[in-house]
Amino acid sequence: MKTLLEMKDLHANAGEKEILKGLNLTIHEGEVHVVMGPNGAGKSTLANSIFHNPEYTVTAGSIEFEGENIQDFTTDKIAKKGIFMSFQLPEEIPGISTLNFLKFAKGKMTDRPVKIFEFKKQVEEYMQELNMNPKLIERNLNVGFSGGEKKKNEILQMLVLNPKLAILDETDSGLDVDAIKTVSKGIEMFKNDKNAVLIITHNTRILSHLKVDYVHILVDGKIVKTGDSRLAKEIEENGYAKYK
């Protein structure tokens, strides 16, 4: 099995403050990983460090993707390598329709012009699967979308851009039961044995709809325990107290 992401002894700051304090994580093709942890453990820092968010700094350790050090890559280059990140709070960009944006991004990602007719059809199919209002693609990117619509729009973008590794940062938070089911369905649609998913979450709700290979417990900037889905169950029942 090919290794996709490998992080070794990763230390990272959010602003001035050290959040990740020596994190190790390896993800192979075909795997679904879940990183769980209490608030402030470093979950979002993990995702944003991989993506070279200027608000975060990696101070030590390494991040490799498919054997290549990606630490100095700009965010767009990381995306082009085949990593996708769904945002907790997707930005609203006025003046550009969701469809045109997707088409533009897809073109950049594949370095090929996008055939609009087929592309639109494909997007509409995905939207149907995700129970999204088809009118949303004409609206400006995320502008005036509800919280749930924004989250679904992230999953839609994941499906459209079809990365090798999808990092889903708190995609389930703030969603109702039906929306969680839909999002899980989107992840199932995406998943195959050539790609991988990293789900970052603080609760276990989404896991009941998904087949998960590894569950990692992140506390105070380090992974303190790794197990299978039974570990998530244990957290659901007992919380993180034991690991603090």
Q: Name the residues that contact other proteins, by CB under 8 A.
A: 51, 53-55, 74-76, 78-80, 84-85, 87, 90-91, 93-96, 101, 104-105, 108-109, 140, 157, 161
Give the side-chain half-sphere CA count within 13 A for 144: 11
Q: Which is nearer to other proteins, 106 or 216 (CB)?
A: 106
Give the residue from 155, 142, 129, 130 showing the smallest Cα distance to 98. 142
β-strand partners of 31: none
Residue 237 Cβ, how far from other proteins at the closest point, in Å? 35
Residue 149 Cβ, how far from other proteins at the closest point, in Å? 16
Residue 15 Cβ, how far from other proteins at the closest point, in Å? 12
Residue 161 Cβ, how far from other proteins at the closest point, in Å? 7
Q: Which is nearer to other proteins, 12 or 223 (CB)?
A: 12
Q: Which is nearer to other proteins, 93 or 116 (CB)?
A: 93
The token pair that represents 164 in the structure block: 């090798």
- Pairing outcome for strands 3-14 and 17-28: antiparallel
Q: Which is nearer to other proteins, 157 or 204 (CB)?
A: 157
Residue 243 Cβ, how far from other proteins at the closest point, in Å? 30
Q: Measure the CA–CA gap between 14 and 8, rounded to whole angstroms.
A: 18
Q: Measure the CA–CA gap between 96 and 236, rounded to whole angstroms.
A: 41
How far, CA to CA in Å, does 91 sit from each of 25, 141, 194? 28, 8, 30
Q: Which is nearer to other proteins, 30 or 174 (CB)?
A: 174
